[in-house]
Structure 1
Amino acid sequence: MSFFQSLAAALTPAGLLWTLLIIGVATFLHELAHFALARWQGVAVKSFSVGMGPVLLRRPWRGTEWRLSLLPIGGYVEIDGMAPEEGPGGTYRQPTRGYAVLPTWGKIAVLLAGPLMNLVLAVGLMTVNFSAQGVPQEPRTDRAQIVDVLPGTRAQDLGLRAGDVITAIDGRPLPRTYTRNGQTRPGWESLRDALARDGRRTFTVEREGATRQVTFDWQARVAGVQQRLGIQYGPEVIYRRLSVPAAFVTSLQTTAEAVPQILRAFGGLFTRFFSLDFSQDQNVSGPIGTAEVVSRAAALSPWALVQVAILLNLSLAFFNLIPIPGLDGGRILLTLVGALRGRPLTLAQEQAINVAGFAFVMLLMVFVVVRDVSRFF
């Protein structure tokens, strides 16, 4: 397939809409938290924009201009006293009001509010997920659950879907365990052995409580090339629902356990960036990779979308706390440096640091997007 055909196959319209909605809600609440902490401390907020770029609609309300902007990729708040103010003769100077005169703890509270909101949202969604869907238990090894169906493959033509559970092959139930090359293997792996042989195959498939038979002729190799059915699969996962208090505690534990993994993922991204390594990394995705994951989740179940939203909010929270100028973590670092020095950085110093940080973040975004796009060539 061509690049555009591959891209169209990976990104569904529903997936794109869900991507915009999930990212839009996460960003809106992030900026709303900055807005709320500034207003709570008596600092004016000049504007609040949903979206970036050219402003489509604007309406003043309670001292803030609320905007709807063209590009649905985030948003921003313009807090009084955070940006340099214009002085005489068209020069700029350090601001002398609003955010600039807050105590150190007040500034940090405004900056921390956004990432903490994403963290709270992730914990809240996890609590709902664990209490409504449940937490995964010991998987069933005698049932193979399809995790993903690759576009344009034989599996898609046969009508197989993510979430389908294969319980039997050619009328024989999958065993709990079986032996391959003298080693004991879980029964769901026998699906691979069945596809290593030519002949007519019949899968017994369960979907939403109903059972159906999927029969097809199969050639394991064509012109010496190993054929692929086009499914990713694993053992069926059984879920156990929790009470809301237990789900909340489990959510906090899960978040704490996820922190090292997220930090390692970002560390791997920076290593690849500095070494210009464009090899694929399943731990960090750019906008296209995220839309592809959401497209697959949308085809699987609503709970899969919730899990993507949880991961996205956790990633946003911790990424924004990285001490890079231009991010919330970088601003917090500069605030702490000013407090330790007993005086803030000069306007020239702060602008130079922020420009360098912004340039770094933009280059990092370009790197991630290029790596995303390269997969389709």
Structure 2
Amino acid sequence: MNFFQSLAAVLTPVGLLWTVIILGIAVTLHELAHYALARWQGVPVKSFSVGMGPVLWRRRWKGTEWRVSALPLGGYVEIDGMAPVQGADGQMHAPTGGYAALPSLGKIAVILAGPVMNLLLALGLMTLLFTNQGMPVQDRARIEEVVVNSTAQKIGLKNGDVITAIDGRDIPETLTIDGKEAPGWQAVPETLKQAGPHTFTILRQGQAQDIRFDWTPTLNGKKQLLGIRYGPDVQKVGVGQAFTTSVKSTVEVVPQVIQSFGNLFKRFLTLDLSQDQNVSGPIGTAEIVSRAAALGPWALVQIAIMLNLSLAFFNLIPIPGLDGGRILLTLIGAIKGSPLTFAQENAINFAGFAFVMLLMMFVILRDASRFF
């Protein structure tokens, strides 16, 4: 099987379409937030493009040329005073008007607006997801399927049963497994590692009852399976609690995101092409979306949440060429009492942009390498 056949095996036309839609909306709203904060402060915006590359359609409205470009991923906004301008001597000079004339806080507001928009979109989608699909309850395990003729069926477990306690002890919110914190509902497989009598306290149609059984983890050298598919219980919540939980979940994921990006930079600097499930390139993203598309709309909503969070956090990394880098340069200028010189800022931005491009090429290469 060659490279393209391998790609076709994991990507679907519907998945690719949804990848374009989800990323397109995320990037367009990101750039639209930059546009809105610039215009709000009186800064002209020369152009706004949905997509990249050759322009397919354009129309001038409110002083801005609105474009639709050929490549459906990405987009850009051209804010007056951000790019160098050509002087009468034919040389490029630092801009003096528009964005360049804003105070430091005004500049930061324009740049920060993009990541904040993606963050707000992720929070809104997460709130919608929790409100409509319910919120995971970590201290209860819901049985989603009981295998026919399995031990679970023989001892009386049924689809929809909710395990609330094991061996007379309530399932905790969290527990430690192999030195790592895990959700409490994973106490079920931990319990099944131990031989002997066990008791599951379950809720069935609102009524509590005990299921008692004797368990042997291995028989004749073979690992035994209870015969259930399960996960955290789900609880319906209101919009307020859903939003609060969304904010809490986002804050809790920050250390994991920082660690993932740190691992990515380490792999990049050592040219380590081994796979990392926490960071995906365009091929990996399209593959994940293809799988989600087969599961239904709410799975796609979960992917949209992850992509918007990733876009927000990635853009806030203080590397020149990203929003975080531009904010960092603005803060350095504010602390110094004067902005960096045109030559200094150009050199730093060029180096940062080159680093980001090389990083993107590395991620794409690592993504593709598993198909060779």
- Shorter-chain TM-score category? 0.7 to 0.9
Higher mean displacement: 313-322 or 340-349? 340-349
Q: 2:278 maps to what in 1?
A: 283
Normalised to the residue count of structure 2, the TM-score between the two structures is 0.79
Cα distance change, pair 20–166 in 1 and its aligned pair in 2 (3 A)? same
2:338 matches 1:355: no
Offset of residue 169 of structure 1: 3.9
Q: 2:136 maps to what in 1?
A: 136
Cα distance change, pair 250–87 in 1 and its aligned pair in 2 (3 A)? same
Contact 1:46 1:64 in 2 (8 A): yes
CA distance in 2: counterparts of 1:84 and 1:186, whole angstroms: 72
Cα distance change, pair 87–133 in 1 and its aligned pair in 2 (3 A)? same
CA distance in 2: counterparts of 1:367 and 1:35, whole angstroms: 30
Q: 2:38 maps to what in 1?
A: 38
Cα distance change, pair 17–337 in 1 and its aligned pair in 2 (3 A)? same
AA in 2 matched with 1:252? V
2:14 matches 1:14: yes
Q: 1:371 maps to what in 2?
A: 366
Cα distance change, pair 295–185 in 1 and its aligned pair in 2 (3 A)? farther
Offset of residue 171 of structure 1: 6.0
Q: 1:258 maps to what in 2?
A: 253
Offset of residue 235 of structure 1: 2.6
Q: 1:83 maps to what in 2?
A: 83
Higher mean displacement: 248-257 or 129-138? 129-138
Normalised to the residue count of structure 1, the TM-score between the two structures is 0.78
Offset of residue 347 of structure 1: 1.4
> Unmatched 5+ residue regions in structure 2?
158-187, 201-214
Contact 2:118 2:312 in 1 (8 A): yes
Contact 1:142 1:186 in 2 (8 A): no
CA distance in 2: counterparts of 1:180 and 1:338, whole angstroms: 60
| Deviations 1:100-125, CA, capped at 9 Å, x for gaps | 10001000000000000000001111
Match of 1:306 among 301, 314, 337: 301
Q: 2:26 maps to what in 1?
A: 26
State how many pairs are aligned. Answer: 318
Q: 1:115 maps to what in 2?
A: 115
| Deviations 1:344-371, CA, capped at 9 Å, x for gaps | 1121111111111111001100110111
Cα distance change, pair 275–96 in 1 and its aligned pair in 2 (3 A)? same
Q: 1:213 maps to what in 2?
A: none
Contact 1:125 1:310 in 2 (8 A): yes
Q: 2:62 maps to what in 1?
A: 62
Offset of residue 236 of structure 1: 3.5
Once the two structures are superposed, the pairs formed by residues 215-294 of structure 1 within 5 Å of their partners are 235-294=230-289
Once the two structures are superposed, the pairs formed by residues 178-189 of structure 1 within 5 Å of their partners are 182=195
Cα distance change, pair 351–185 in 1 and its aligned pair in 2 (3 A)? farther
2:318 matches 1:323: yes
The SS at the match of 2:348 is helix
Offset of residue 4 of structure 1: 2.0
Contact 2:146 2:229 in 1 (8 A): no
The SS at the match of 1:238 is strand
AA in 2 matched with 1:373? A
CA distance in 1: counterparts of 2:119 and 2:255, whole angstroms: 15
Contact 1:141 1:186 in 2 (8 A): no
RMSD after superposition: 2.7
Q: 1:334 maps to what in 2?
A: 329
Q: 1:96 maps to what in 2?
A: 96
CA distance in 1: counterparts of 2:12 and 2:232, whole angstroms: 26
The SS at the match of 2:51 is strand
The SS at the match of 2:60 is strand
Offset of residue 303 of structure 1: 1.2
Cα distance change, pair 244–91 in 1 and its aligned pair in 2 (3 A)? same
Q: 1:216 maps to what in 2?
A: none
Higher mean displacement: 130-139 or 290-299? 130-139
Contact 2:142 2:232 in 1 (8 A): no
Cα distance change, pair 184–60 in 1 and its aligned pair in 2 (3 A)? farther
Contact 1:48 1:66 in 2 (8 A): yes
